[in-house]
Structure formats: structure tokens, C-alpha cells
Amino acid sequence: MTWSLVCAVMVALDPWALLQAGFWLSFVSVGMFFEMAQRICQAQTLGRPAFGAVVHSFCESTG
């Protein structure tokens, strides 16, 4: 839902954005970062230490 809303806003601001490779590459890379962060936070909650204090503070701030 959030991704669709962001995409709709981008298309409203710049209709030609969908035709640019950079638009799609940035969406995919941000999605990968969010997925990795979610997996790291899940691994940390299962008792496996991930990357220390930085990851812990990130997981706490994102819920």
C-alpha cells in the first residue's frame, strides 16, 4: 500500500519518471534495504546478535 502511494505521488510530480531506469532501480534498492533491515531485526529478536548498537537502535526506532 505504501509503495503504491509513493509511486502515485512520484507519477503525479513527474509523469515521465516511470520510463527512467533510475526510478525503478531506486525503488528496488530501497525495498531491498527495508527487507534486509527487517530480517536483521527479526534475527536479533531470535537471540542472534546482528550488528550491535546501531542495529539495535534502528530496530527500536522502527518498531
Every domain of the chain and the residues it spans: 21-63
The confidence band for 41, taking pLDDT boundaries of 50, 70 and 90, is: confident
The confidence band for 32, taking pLDDT boundaries of 50, 70 and 90, is: confident
Distance CA 63, CA 60 (A): 5
**How buried is residue 59: exposed, middle or buried, by Cβ count under 10 Å (0-12/13-18/19+)?**
middle
The confidence band for 51, taking pLDDT boundaries of 50, 70 and 90, is: low
Q: Please state the pTM of the whole predicted model.
A: 0.51
Q: Backbone dihedral region of 4: left (phi > 0), alpha (psi from -120 to 50 degrees) or beta?
A: alpha
